[in-house]
């Protein structure tokens, strides 16, 4: 099956609008394309919405670390696994603002705050709301990942100035129970609905390399692309195999299959930011370059993502420079 963009509806600027009728068969056919043909289609979709070679830069800070009651098989912050991680309470406001100022000085335009909660309590949401307002005042886009939210919490975060809420689906609904048993898949979809209802933008993606099949990757991307509104930001995480977690010995995903996943995500969600997230330290420069060509246009700066390693900012700047890709400078571009 060959997907063609000429038949897609266009907006007033002549850009093709995302399809909403993707089927499993459609997505499977994309994954099955010869690699050069898949990259060509992904590049075409990318250029229709992002014609300038820019990379959106984010920084992710763990504002509350460890002691999470969830049992996500990949996560070093779970209380169910002995990974040697030291739990830390919610950071003070001043420390978060200082980290945000440093991130901005190093070229980030979005500042993401992550807290290891299943669901934050009211007093925690109040403190985090202060952080959001202070970071927004610096001229940075703001993003949070705090676990499950209800409608009131989502509205409170929106009123504080939050731009994005991150809540990943992680994997397919079929494979989900192999990875997480403490939070049902449907609850994740409910939180996404509450976030949308509050007027927040959605950051939602998944993790690959957890032992899932290609069919699971097909199902995950199709689910994301056919949500009532596709996520504006789609992080694709490459599993970090953390010692002490159930997935520490998972078989690494083939780099070409990883790039295929990025390319299919770009075709399905052409107007979204596709972010190379966790696990970039395990990817060669060549694999990252292919992923950028396939449509990834967002990365995290910083030596650490929550509790896992990330390439140093200088290393990222050097790679982007070699590729002729400029860091994006305009917030909300």
pLDDT tens over the chain, length 333 residues? 444 433 344 554 555 566 778 999 999 999 999 999 999 999 999 999 998 888 988 888 888 876 687 888 888 877 777 766 677 788 899 999 998 998 888 888 899 998 887 788 899 999 999 999 999 999 999 999 898 899 999 999 999 999 999 999 999 999 999 999 988 899 999 999 999 999 999 999 999 999 999 999 999 999 999 998 899 999 999 998 888 898 888 999 999 999 999 999 999 999 999 999 888 888 899 999 999 999 999 988 755 444 455 556 778 888 888 999 988 876 554
Asked, for residue 46, whether it belongs to a domain, the answer is: no
pLDDT at 6: 33
pLDDT at 7: 35
DSSP 244-264: TSTTTTPPPPPHHHHHHHHHH
**Tokens 């939070």 belong to which residue?**
183
Distance from C-alpha of 250 to C-alpha of 73, rounded to nearest angstrom: 11
Task: Give the residue among 198, 186, 184, 189 at the shortest CA–CA distance from 156.
Answer: 198
Element (H, E) at 288: helix 285-294
pLDDT at 12: 47
Asked, for residue 8, whether it belongs to a domain, the answer is: no
- In total, the chain counts a number of residues equal to 333
Enclosing domain of residue 223: 51-317
pLDDT at 260: 97
Task: Give the residue among 192, 244, 239 at the shortest CA–CA distance from 212.
Answer: 239
pLDDT at 295: 93
At 221, which CATH number?
3.20.20.70
Residues acting as catalytic residues: 68, 72, 75, 112, 143, 203, 275
Asked, for residue 289, whether it belongs to a domain, the answer is: yes
pLDDT at 218: 97
Asked, for residue 24, whether it belongs to a domain, the answer is: no
β 141-145/54-64 pair status: unpaired
Kindly give, in sequence order, each residue whose CB lies less than 8 Å from that of residue 86, ignoring residues fewer than 6 positions away.
65, 66
Distance from C-alpha of 155 to C-alpha of 199, rounded to nearest angstrom: 8
Asked, for residue 227, whether it belongs to a domain, the answer is: yes
Asked, for residue 323, whether it belongs to a domain, the answer is: no
Asked, for residue 118, whether it belongs to a domain, the answer is: yes
Asked, for residue 270, whether it belongs to a domain, the answer is: yes
**Tokens 């075709």 belong to which residue?**
267
Distance from C-alpha of 27 to C-alpha of 18, rounded to nearest angstrom: 14
Total domains, the chain: 1
């Amino acid at each position: 099956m060959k997907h063609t963009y000429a038949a897609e509806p266009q907006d007033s600027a002549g850009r093709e609008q995302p399809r909403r009728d993707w089927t499993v068969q459609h997505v499977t056919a994309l994954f099955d394309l010869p690699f050069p043909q898949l990259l060509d289609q992904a590049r075409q979709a990318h250029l229709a919405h992002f014609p300038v070679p820019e990379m959106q830069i984010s920084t992710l800070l763990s504002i509350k670390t460890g002691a999470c009651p969830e049992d996500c098989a990949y996560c070093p912050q779970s209380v169910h696994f002995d990974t040697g991680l030291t739990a830390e309470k919610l950071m003070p406001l001043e420390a978060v603002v200082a980290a945000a100022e440093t991130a901005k000085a190093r070229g980030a335009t979005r500042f993401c705050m992550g807290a290891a909660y299943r669901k934050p309590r009211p007093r925690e949401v109040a403190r985090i709301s202060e952080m959001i307002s202070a970071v927004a005042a610096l001229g940075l886009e703001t993003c949070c990942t705090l676990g499950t939210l209800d409608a009131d919490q989502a509205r409170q975060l929106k009123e504080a100035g939050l731009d994005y809420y991150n809540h990943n689906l992680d994997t397919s609904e079929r494979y989900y129970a192999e990875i997480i048993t403490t939070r049902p898949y449907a609850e994740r979809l409910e939180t996404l609905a509450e976030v949308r209802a509050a007027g927040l933008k959605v950051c939602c993606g998944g993790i690959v390399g957890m032992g899932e099949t290609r069919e699971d990757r097909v199902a995950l991307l199709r689910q994301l692309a056919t949500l009532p509104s596709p996520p504006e930001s789609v992080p694709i995480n490459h599993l970090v195999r953390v010692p002490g977690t159930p997935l520490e010995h998972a078989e690494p995903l083939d780099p070409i299959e990883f790039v295929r996943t990025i390319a299919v995500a770009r075709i399905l969600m052409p107007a979204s930011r596709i972010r190379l997230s966790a696990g970039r330290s395990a990817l060669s420069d060549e694999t990252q370059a292919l992923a950028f060509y396939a449509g990834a246009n967002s990365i995290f700066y910083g030596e650490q993502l929550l509790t896992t390693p990330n390439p140093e900012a200088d290393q990222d700047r050097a790679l982007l420079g070699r590729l002729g890709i400029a860091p994006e400078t305009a917030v909300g571009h």
